[in-house]
Amino acid sequence: MKIVLIGAGGTLGVAVHTALTGRGHDVVTVGRSSGDLRLDIADPEQTAQLYERVGRVDAVVSAAGDVPWKPITEMTPQDYLDAFRGKVLSQVELVRQGVGRIAERGSFTLITGVLAREPVPTGTAASLANGAVEAFVRAAAIEIAPQRVNAVSPTVFTESLGDYGDFFPGMESVDLDKVARAYVRSVEGAQTGQVYVL
Ligand SMILES: NC(=O)c1ccc[n+]([C@@H]2O[C@H](COP(=O)([O-])OP(=O)(O)OC[C@H]3O[C@@H](n4cnc5c(N)ncnc54)[C@H](OP(=O)(O)O)[C@@H]3O)[C@@H](O)[C@H]2O)c1
């Protein structure tokens, strides 16, 4: 398959890239500062450019998403808007703009995370963004068939414990290769409207 992978240079993106290329797929990488295409998907006009430049693909895979982390008393309205733009609208636009452009039976795989269901202090923006994306996936799936859309919703990555472990005391981590396999499942499988909780 020809697959476009956004966030390919990140911790998760590298693992997803390895898994997808290892399955023989042709992967076009996208990021703001690295990749085959340098684009910011938080800007809907740049997402339009992405689809213009990449041509017809079989799958769109997202491993990107930025949200602010702060105590709720320090959050501003702009912080919540930034979270919406950085993780929700960015991924919604991949689907909204992609429906008319990807293969007839193509798929979208979005990234959310454990904070949709297991909150931690300073994570309100991440929780709301992840929850919004998961609700969107379920809703979009019933409209876009035979195209498909799923989300991957992992807990903290084992490989990220050094950076984020203190936010998740006592919580299980998940190895990146297992998360990457959920992307393979979403891309190559037949399910839609699923949130793969890892
Ligand atoms: N780390 C964890 O333990 C964990 C656990 C569960 C869920 N997640 C979620 O998984 C996703 C990836 O996390 P990560 O730890 O792999 O992050 P990361 O290492 O910072 O990687 C994110 C990648 O996405 C790209 N990116 C970010 N925003 C973009 C945009 N608007 N347009 C284009 N590219 C963009 C970044 O590259 P540029 O900066 O060059 O654009 C980078 O390559 C996030 O949504 C995160 O919330 C992470």
Q: pLDDT (tens digit, 9 = 90+) per residue, 21-40? A: 999 999 999 999 999 999 99
pLDDT reported for residue 16: 99
The band of 62, judged by pLDDT with boundaries at 50, 70 and 90, is: very high
Ligand 1 neighbours by CB, cut-off 6 Å = 6-7, 9-13, 30-34, 40-42, 63-66, 87, 90, 111, 113, 154, 156-157, 160, 164
Token couple for 123: 């994570």
pLDDT reported for residue 64: 98
Backbone phi and psi for residue 9, each to the nearest 5 degrees, phi listed first: -90, 0
Q: What residue spans of 145-166 are helical by DSSP H?
A: 161-164
pLDDT reported for residue 29: 98
- Percent of the chain whose predicted confidence (pLDDT) is above 70: 100
Task: Calculate how far, in angstroms, residue 87's C-alpha sits from the geometric centre of ligand 1.
Answer: 9
Half-sphere exposure (Cβ direction) of 154: Cα atoms closer than 13 Å: 20
The band of 85, judged by pLDDT with boundaries at 50, 70 and 90, is: very high
Under DSSP, the state recorded for 56 is S
Q: 90-98 vs 124-144: helix axis angle to the nearest 10?
A: 10
pLDDT reported for residue 116: 98
pLDDT reported for residue 81: 98
Q: 3-state DSSP call for residue 23?
A: coil
The band of 11, judged by pLDDT with boundaries at 50, 70 and 90, is: very high
Rounded to two decimals, what is the model's pTM?
0.98
**CATH number given to 2-197:** 3.40.50.720
CA-nearest residue, atom 46 of ligand 1:
65
CA-nearest residue, atom 4 of ligand 1:
156
Q: Calculate mean pLDDT across residues 102-131.
A: 98
CA-nearest residue, atom 19 of ligand 1:
10
pLDDT reported for residue 43: 98
Residue 157 Cα: closest atom of ligand 1: 3
Q: Calculate mean pLDDT across residues 41-46.
A: 98
pLDDT reported for residue 42: 98
pLDDT reported for residue 162: 96
Residue 9 Cα: closest atom of ligand 1: 43
pLDDT reported for residue 128: 98
CA pair distance 76, 101, nearest whole angstrom: 36
pLDDT reported for residue 124: 98
**E strand segments, 100-188:** 107-111, 148-153
Mean pLDDT, the chain, integer? 98
pLDDT reported for residue 67: 98
Task: Calculate how far, in angstroms, residue 140's C-alpha sits from the geometric centre of ligand 1.
Answer: 23
Task: Calculate how far, in angstroms, residue 63's C-alpha sits from the geometric centre of ligand 1.
Answer: 6
CA-nearest residue, atom 20 of ligand 1:
10
Structural domain boundaries of the chain? 2-197
Q: Calculate mean pLDDT across residues 51-80.
A: 98
pLDDT reported for residue 14: 98
CA-nearest residue, atom 36 of ligand 1:
7
